[in-house]
Structure 1
Amino acid sequence: MHSTIPKEIWSEHCDGYSFTDCAIRNKDMIYLLATEDKTQDEQKSKMQLLLLVQEGDNIEHGYSSFDESFWAVVCTSEKPVEQGLIIQVLGGSVIPTGGPQRDWPVEDIKQNELLPVRKAKKIDGFPWVVGSHRAVFRRVDIGTWIAVDNGLKEPEDLSDTDFLDIDGFTSNDIYAVGGKGDIWHYDGQIWKQCGFPTNDKLTAVCCAGDGNVYVAAKHKLWKGRLNRWEAICELELTDKISDLHWFNNKIWGCGKYDFLCWNGITLETEVLYQGSPLALMGTMDCCEHFLLVARRKSVWVYNGQQWVNIVPESM
C-alpha cells in the first residue's frame, strides 16, 4: 500500500467524513471506517467502511454504507475466510464484508445477549474480541463465536474490570489487559492472572517480534512476560494509548490524542515528515509490510523507510 487515492474516491468517500478505525486485510488491502461529519442541527450521520486495494501503482476501492452511524470497530480475518468485520461496540453484532460471497448474514458474538466490545484483534488468523467484565470471545467459523473464559474469575468489583486489549504470539500464548494492573495469560487451555507490579490502568498490549510482551499503562510503558515485568519508560499522555504494535523493530502506539514510538532506548512522540514534526494520533494497525495510521482526516502508511499520506486532508 503506497499510492495516494484518486480524487474521485476522496470526493465521494472521504470529503465530509472522519476516520474512526482502520484494519489491514493483507499487504494490498486495507479497511477504513468513517463517520459523516454532522452539524449541530443534524440528528443522524451516515457511516461507511471503505476498502482500498493496491493494484500496481493504482488504488481501487469498494465500500459498504450505512444510513445511520453506530459505535463500531473494524477487524479482519484470515480464517475461515479472508474478510473484514464491522463489530458493534455497544451490542456485539458483527457485519462481515468481503470474501468469497457478496452478502453475509449478521452475526451475534454472544447469542441472545448484548456484549459491550472494547477491542477486536486478529490472532493466528482468527478474530478475537474482548469486552466488559473480562469477556473474551473467538470466532471459529462463519457465524460462530465461542467464549474463551476457562479460568477467568468473575471480578468482585465490576466498575473497572473491562479488558481493553488482547494480543497473542499464537492462539496458545495470548495476553489480555485492562483495569488496574489486570493482566491475564492464556495457554490454549486456561487463563491465569499474571502478577503485575502496578495498579495503574492498563490500556493496550502487544506481543512483539522480539519475544517480549509490551503493555501501555496510563503513566508507563512496560515489558515482560507472565509474572516478570519492568517499566521501560515514563509516559506523559493526554488520554491513553489504545493501539500498540511491533513494526520495524520498534514499538508503536497511538490513541485519540496520543502517539509514541519506542526504539529500545528513546521514546518519541512524533515523527518527521518532510522535515516537519507529525503527530500521528488516531487508530493504528500493522502487518509485516507496513504500519497504518488513520488520523481523523488523513491516513498514513510507513514501510520502514518513508511515510506516505495515502488519504490527504484535502484534494
Structure 2
Amino acid sequence: MSSPHVSKKKWQEIVEGFEITGIAVRDRNVLQMLSRQHVPAAQASLMKDSDIPTRLSSIFLDDSTENNIECQQLSHMPFPSLGVSRAPFARPGGLVAAMNADGDTWPLGGGNGPLEKIATGQWPGTSRLKFIGAHTYAVGTAREIYKRVAVGRWEKVAGIETPRNEEEMKASGFDDIDGFSENDLYAVGGHGDVWHFNGREWRQSGFPTNERLATVTCAGDGNVYISSEGGSLWVGQHSTWRLLEKRESTVLWNDVRWFQGRLWLASDYQLRVWDGREIVVPQHEGKSIVASGHMDAHDGLLAVADLWTVSTFDGKTWRKVVAPYKD
C-alpha cells in the first residue's frame, strides 16, 4: 500500500497527539481538517472544553511535496464546528466556530483571521456550519440560523419562530441545514423540528416523529433525507415524509452526503450507503469499505475521517491522505 499523502515529518508536527474531529472538502484539491489535542479522560474531567488546543489544517491534495499541509493552532474554542468558505465568496478557506457567547469563528485561507463573531453576546450555540449556494450558514440551539454575508460579518436569518418556553426550547432545533439552493432550504433538529424556506418565508413542516433529528440532506435525486434517533432514515419534502429504514443504533449519524448518485452516511462507528432498499456497507472492487467518523462531499470528491485517519474517494480510487506512522 502506498504511503499516506501527508508525510511522516508533517504528521509528527501537525497530527500526532491530536484527534481528528471534522473534515470538509473545500474543493477537489483542498481538504480542511479539524483536530483537537488528545487529553486522557481523567485529565479532561478537570478541564474546560475551551482549554483543549484545537487545530485547523489545510491539506493540499495536488501537492506532492512535503509541505502539502499547513496548520493554525487555536485556543479558547469550546465544542468547535468545522466549515468552509468557497468561491465566489471572498477568501475561500476553512472556518472553525466555537460554541460560546459570541460564536467566535476563525477563518483560515487567503491569510489567517482575524477572529469573527457570529453574534456578540447572543450565545448563537453553533452546532454546524454548512456552505449552501454562495454563503456559509451557522445553525444552533433555539432555532438560530446565521448567514455569513461578508468576511467578518454574519446576519441572523429572520422569520423563524423562537421557542416560547423551556419545554419548547428542549424540543426545538437546529442541528443541521441544507438546501437545493439558498431559496429552498431545510433546517432540522430537536425532536421532530423541521423548517423549510421557500424563498419568501420559513414554515414549520409537519414531521411524523418526535425523535431527535440529526442531519438533513438535499440530494441530487430531488429528495430530502433526514436522519433521526437510532440512525433511522426518512425521505420526503415539505410536510410529506416517510420512514425508509428504522434502526436501533446507540449513536446518531454525524454526516449524510449525496455523492455520485448514492446517499452516504457516517457515524462514529460506521460508513454506510443507502442502496435504494436498505442501508448497507459500501463496496469497492468487490471489497467492503471499512471507515467511520465524519464526512463531506463536494466537487467530485468524498472525504471520510475517523480520529486518526483521513481517506478520499473520487468514484474510482480510495486514497489514504492521513494515517498514523507506527515506526
Q: Structures share a fold, TM > 0.5?
A: yes
Instruction: Look up the SS of the partner of 1:176 in the other structure.
Output: strand
2:251 is the alignment partner of 1:244: no
Question: Equivalent residue for 2:95?
Answer: 85
Q: CA deviation at 1:248?
A: 1.3
2:264 is the alignment partner of 1:256: no
Q: Are the counterparts in 2 of residues 174 and 186 from structure 1 also a CA contact under 8 Å? A: yes
Q: Are the counterparts in 1 of residues 129 and 136 from structure 2 also a CA contact under 8 Å? A: yes
Aligned partner (choices 57, 61, 74) of residue 54 of structure 1: 61
Quote the Cα distance in structure 2 between the aligned partners of 1:14 and 1:152.
Answer: 42
Quote the Cα distance in structure 2 between the aligned partners of 1:261 and 1:251.
Answer: 6
1:144-181: per-residue Cα shift (whole Å, max 9, x none)? 11111214343442123131100011100000001121
Question: Equivalent residue for 1:113?
Answer: 122
2:79 is the alignment partner of 1:71: yes
Question: Equivalent residue for 1:193?
Answer: 204
Letter in 1 for 2:17: G
Letter in 1 for 2:33: L
- Tell which deviates more after alignment, 276-285 or 79-88: 276-285
Letter in 2 for 1:53: F
Aligned partner (choices 170, 188, 192) of residue 159 of structure 1: 170
Q: CA RMSD in A?
A: 2.3
Q: Are the counterparts in 2 of residues 247 and 288 from structure 1 also a CA contact under 8 Å? A: no
Letter in 1 for 2:78: F
Question: Equivalent residue for 2:38?
Answer: 37
1:230-272: per-residue Cα shift (whole Å, max 9, x none)? 211222322101211100111111223343310212311x445
Q: How many pairs are equivalent? A: 311
Q: Are the counterparts in 1 of residues 77 and 104 from structure 2 also a CA contact under 8 Å? A: no
Letter in 1 for 2:260: N
- Tell which deviates more after alignment, 143-152 or 178-187: 143-152
Q: Are the counterparts in 2 of residues 238 and 257 from structure 1 also a CA contact under 8 Å? A: no
TM-score, length-scaled by structure 2? 0.88
Quote the Cα distance in structure 1 between the aligned partners of 2:318 and 2:273.
Answer: 14
Aligned partner (choices 202, 205, 215) of residue 213 of structure 2: 202
Q: Are the counterparts in 2 of residues 80 and 140 from structure 1 also a CA contact under 8 Å? A: no
Structure 2 matches for 1:101-180, cutoff 5 A? 102-156=111-165, 157-180=168-191
Cα gap change, 1:68 to 1:12, in 2 (>3 Å): farther
Question: Equivalent residue for 1:96?
Answer: 107
TM-score, length-scaled by structure 1? 0.91
Quote the Cα distance in structure 1 between the aligned partners of 2:205 and 2:122.
Answer: 29
Quote the Cα distance in structure 1 between the aligned partners of 2:170 and 2:310.
Answer: 35
Q: CA deviation at 1:305?
A: 2.4
Q: CA deviation at 1:114?
A: 2.1
Which contiguous aligned blocks of 4+ residues in structure 1 show a shift greater than 6 angstroms? 273-276
Aligned identity (percent) is 28
Quote the Cα distance in structure 1 between the aligned partners of 2:130 and 2:25.
Answer: 11
Q: Extract unaligned runs of 5+ from structure 1.
A: none
